[in-house]
Structure 1
Amino acid sequence: MFEKFIYKLNLPPGITAFLQRTRLITLILAIIITLWSMIFQVGTEEVGVITRFGKYVRTVEPGLNLKIPFTEDVYKVPVERQQKLEFGFRTVSAGVNSEYTRQGAKDESLMLTGDLNLADVEWVVQYRIDNAYNYLFKVRNPETTMRDISEAAMRQVVGDRTVNEVLTTGRTEIGGKLEELIQNICNDYNMGIKIEQVVLQDVNPPDPVKAAFNAVNEAQQEKETLINQAKSEYNKVIPRASGQAEETIQKAEGYATERVNRAKGEVARFNELYNEYIKATEVTKRRIYLETMSEILPRLGNIVITDQEGNNVVPLLQMGLKNSQNSNSQSNE
């Protein structure tokens, strides 16, 4: 038909040949464009969402896929890639020596705590897309919505805590609570997002009060140091004093036991002696007397014993001398 149309125009042969070649080139280009619009490739960490005249049709897996040209569009969604949102700072260049900037991000990190103080909180939300259809069609501008949700959730969590908790002990708890809260809101909105982790980067007081806050922290640390030193000294002194007290008590108890046992022994000896005394009074008296004198006299040294008028020296004197000589000779030996 195209050739008949050219023939009717009665054009010169050169122009006719040119038009025929143009027709062939146009046909080839049309075929190439059609094939190019039909074939597309989805990356290994993506899925392809196909829409026909704007309406969702199907989801295709990674690899080469086909679609109807000029009527179907494909949206590639990175469902296997971990993505992140930064709050309070932005990464300028990532690498071994990463560079960051806070320009344009200061307002989103300034938080009001529950005790009406200010804290500068920087954090990162890491997430994955687990439902490509919901991510594309349930919420308009999902990344912007996600950023607004995260900032609102952080302000809520920080607003329930004191500034000391936010800056020191409560960071782990805040991260866990924030992750749970963001995930619940995303589920309510059917955003198709799964929160992987929330990481608090830097938590500092605002710059105008940072010096005063550092001074307070140093005072608290010094207080803790002194308390620990006092506890250490307490642990040294108290156990030692307790040990000494226990030792004194045990010595006293031992001494009391010894005295009681000795007293009981003396009582038993006295009772036995008394029983013998009852049986033979004179003999026992004489034996006790002689035993006592034999124990006492050697300690007295030179002894002179006379009768009642003082006329005669009792021969016992020689016995005492002999005993003293015997004791002296034994000591010399």
Structure 2
Amino acid sequence: MIAVWIIVLILVVVIFTSFVTIKQGTVGVVTIFGKYRRILLPGLNWKIPLIEVLYSRISIQNRSVELEFQAVTVDQANVYFKAMILYSVFDQSEEAIKAVAFKFVDERNLMQALVRTVEGSIRAYVATKRQSDVLILRREIVEHVKEQIDNILEGWGYHLQDLQLNDITFDDIIMKSMSQVVASNNLKAAAENEGQALLITKTKAAEAEGNAIKIAAEADRQASQLRGQGVALFREEVAKGMSVAAKEMHQANMDTSVILFTMWTEAIKHFSENSKGNVIFLDGSADNMQKTMKEMMAMHALQTDEVKKA
């Protein structure tokens, strides 16, 4: 009876040890007598009891590690880096899983090798660059590291997903000098911008003043032209009026010299009403009166000819 119970117990143990559950995001590695046999995918898997052994469970999810280290540039400046490495198993192929499972003794040794490899690659690259160039070469440093260590990591069964250089600093004295350089460059740029702005302002002001002068000159020219046209029209209308009046007086057998005398008296009236002075000097001598009458008669003769021609 005891033997039966022993046999049943052994069968139960064998049955329960024949099935293995692999969680999502991991892969199982099976060995037989210490030698690699096969891999187990996520889910419920069967293995030969007492012969096949689940050697390890390998995560195929992305993993990250932060690191801080120092490098020296070609001009002997200390550069301090803070970085983050994002890596994962290369793929779920058998060769990649075997490399991950058996290349290193444990996870600690893998991390040590990975960190030292990344640090060494960055140090070697920075050692060929000047301190003033390091800050602007962030992308180039990342590309260089990925190019250098991708093949190495692939041999270990891993792939470098990303390298982020979160912080790049220098010694305090260098940081202060860099700040002074930036400040002086900013002041220089501000002075240049201010000079350009002043030049543009003065240029625009000169252009505006020139345009204003041109507009004023054009307006004066047009005003003078309009005034001349107005005077010409006024004279033309006066001449027409005098011609009509002279023609009517000639038809009525009246002396047209009366028109000249009326214009003369109207002119004297206009002088007296609009002049600023209080005295009008008129030459009342006989010679001057005779001269004036001759001029008026000459104008009368001209008007008479115009009337006849009309």
Counterpart code for 1:185: N
1:195 and 2:157 correspond: no
**Structure 1, 194-203 or 219-228: larger mean CA deviation:** 219-228
Q: Is the 8 A contact 1:158 1:174 kept in 2?
A: no
Change (3 A) 1:302 1:49: same
Which position in structure 2 is the counterpart of 1:131? Answer: 91
Q: Any gaps of 5 or more consecutive residues in structure 2?
A: 105-109, 243-256, 290-310
**One-letter amino acid of the structure 2 residue matched with residue 71 of structure 1:** I
Query: What are the ranges of 5 or more consecutive residues in structure 1 without an aligned counterpart?
Result: 1-19, 89-108, 313-333
So what's the TM-score if we normalise by structure 1? 0.58
Match of 2:151 in 1: 185
Partner residue, 1:140: 103
| Aligned-partner SS, 2:45 | strand
> Relative to structure 1, is the Cα distance of residues 122 and 291 closer, same or farther in structure 2, using a 3 angstrom cutoff?
farther
Same amino acid, percent of matched pairs: 16
- The answer on whether the counterparts of 1:182 and 1:195 sit within 8 Å (CA) in structure 2 is no
The answer to whether the aligner puts 1:47 opposite 2:27 as a matched pair is yes
Aligned to 1:212: 173
Residue equivalent to 1:86: 66
Give the deviation of 1:230 after TM superposition: 3.5
In structure 2, relative to structure 1, the CA distance for the partners of 1:237 and 1:46 (3 Å cut) is same
Aligned to 2:245: none
Alpha-carbon distance between aligned partners in 1 of 2:28 and 2:99, rounded to the nearest angstrom: 14
CA-to-aligned-CA distance 1:145-177 (integer Å, 9 cap, x gap)? 5334422332344345432343x4443x25652
Distance in 1 of aligned mates of 2:12 and 2:80:
57
One-letter amino acid of the counterpart of residue 43, structure 1: K
Residue type of the alignment partner of 2:212: K
Matched, 1:163 2:131: yes
Given candidates 47, 53, 57, the residue that maps to 1:73 is 53
Report the counterpart of residue 219 of structure 2 in structure 1. Answer: 258
| Mapped contact 1:125–1:199 kept (Cα < 8 A) | yes
Question: Is the 2:150–2:160 Cα contact (8 Å) retained in structure 1?
Answer: no
Question: Residue 176 and residue 214 in structure 1: after superposition, are their counterparts in 2 closer, same or farther (change >3 A)?
Answer: closer
Q: Relative to structure 1, is the Cα distance of residues 114 and 275 closer, same or farther in structure 2, using a 3 angstrom cutoff?
A: farther
* Cα pair distance change 1:302/1:182, threshold 3 Å: same
Q: Which residue of the partner structure matches residue 307 of structure 1?
A: 284
Task: Give the whole-Å Cα distance in 2 for the aligned partners of 1:256 and 1:56.
Answer: 102
Aligned counterpart, 1:329: none
Q: Displacement, 1:248?
A: 0.8
Higher relative contact order (CA 8 A, sep 6+): 2
Query: Over the residues paired in the alignment, what is the CA RMSD in angstroms?
Result: 4.6
1:244 and 2:205 are equivalent in the alignment: yes
Give the length in aligned residue pairs: 261
Please give the TM-score of this superposition, normalised by the length of structure 2.
0.62
Written as runs of structure 1 = structure 2, the 5 A alignment for 1:16-31 is 31=11
Q: Give the CA deviation at 1:307.
A: 1.8
Deviation at 1:195, TM superposition (A): 2.8
SS of match in other structure, 1:127? strand
Task: Give the whole-Å Cα distance in 2 for the aligned partners of 1:266 and 1:50.
Answer: 114
**Shift in CA distance, 241/28, structure 1 to aligned 2, threshold 3 Å:** same
- Structure 1 residues 112-121 or 259-268, which shifts more? 259-268
Q: Is the 8 A contact 1:127 1:195 kept in 2?
A: yes
